[in-house]
Amino acid sequence: MPKQIDKKIWAEQLLAAFDGNIDAAIDALRQAESAVKQARKPKVMPTGPVLVSVENLSKKYKVGRQHVQALNSVSLDIHEGEFVAFTGPSGSGKSTLLQLIGGLDKPSEGTITVDGKNLTKLSDRHLSKFRNQTIGFVFQFFYLQPFLRLETNLEVPGMFARTKRRERTQTAAELADAVGLKDRLRHLPKELSGGQMQRAAIARALLNRPKLILADEPTGNLDSTNGTAIIDLFEQVRKDFGTTIIIVTHDPKVAAHADREIVLEDGEIKL
């Protein structure tokens, strides 16, 4: 009985702290639970070779007459098979870092090496080819072509890679099955739910069997149930394909699933 009374008092105090806002209190409780789970989760020390190496990376943007320092001398290594989360407040540089690792932008200073290739020394043509063969991208917005059926959407990376049609069609069907969309191949994106579209985006990113998947807020447009399902899918992808995964997220529940969390603040690594 005393424990029950304590729990009731504690719940009342928590609710009072958020001025009676039940949703805010529940969200705070979930974040606290996530933090506890992360603290209890055993740290997994990377054992594989280094896949991504960033050295003294800086990025400056010119906005009007001002220069914005998005990243400042960032260095890190990510090993094959790791699941890493970039976290930090808005404007901390995490999405900029992800884009630079993916070769979608060029740094002001420093080097980025992915799978043995120095991206800063590749021509635009060779960089485009390398991205298509080595890196898969998943974004907050699904970027499925609205006029193409799912099966064709999944095949798009193979078209750019000039993969034979029969091979890419077979691979797309296998990946659709792996992400639970085998019965949706003839559907248009508008006929899919948000969770289904994000699963489709993950399958598309895997078509060329990339060594690295970069995901920028992949659960940002999903409810908590679908968001959890997507993170579970990433973990399954890592297990089944040995893919290295880097995720940018604001969500502590998502970060708690990663082997390692890298916290950025003001363009620098803080943790």
Q: What is the pLDDT of residues 134-161, one digit of tens each?
A: 999 988 776 788 899 999 999 988 888 8
Q: What is the 3-state secondary structure (H, E, C) of the chain?
A: CHHHHHHHHHHHHHHHHCCCCHHHHHHHHHHHHHHHHHHHCCCCCCCCCEEEEEEEEEEEEEECCEEEEEEEEEEEEEECCCEEEEECCCCCCHHHHHHHHCCCCCCCEEEEEECCEEHHHCCHHHHHHHHHHHEEEEECCCCCCCCCCHHHHHHHHHHHCCCCHHHHHHHHHHHHHHCCCHHHCCCCHHHCCHHHHHHHHHHHHCCCCCCEEEEECCCCCCCHHHHHHHHHHHHHHHHHHCCEEEEECCCHHHHCCCCEEEEEECCEECC
Q: What is the pLDDT of residues 109-127, one digit of tens each?
A: 999 999 999 999 999 999 9
Q: Is the pLDDT of residue 18 over 70?
A: no
Share of the chain above pLDDT 70, in %: 82
More confident residue, 82 or 193: 82
What does the pLDDT read at residue 59? 94
pTM of the model: 0.79
Q: Is the pLDDT of residue 131 over 80?
A: yes
Does domain 50-269 fall under CATH 3.40.50.300? My reply is: yes
Q: Provide the residue type at 43 as one letter.
A: K
110: alpha, beta or left? (left if phi > 0; alpha if psi -120 to 50): left
What does the pLDDT read at residue 73? 93
Delimit the domains of the chain by residue range.
Answer: 2-40, 50-269
What does the pLDDT read at residue 160? 82
Q: What is the pLDDT of residues 84-100, one digit of tens each?
A: 999 999 889 999 999 99
- 12-16, 63-67, 88-92 — which is least confidently predicted? 12-16
Q: What is the pLDDT of residues 220-243, one digit of tens each?
A: 877 888 888 888 888 988 998 899
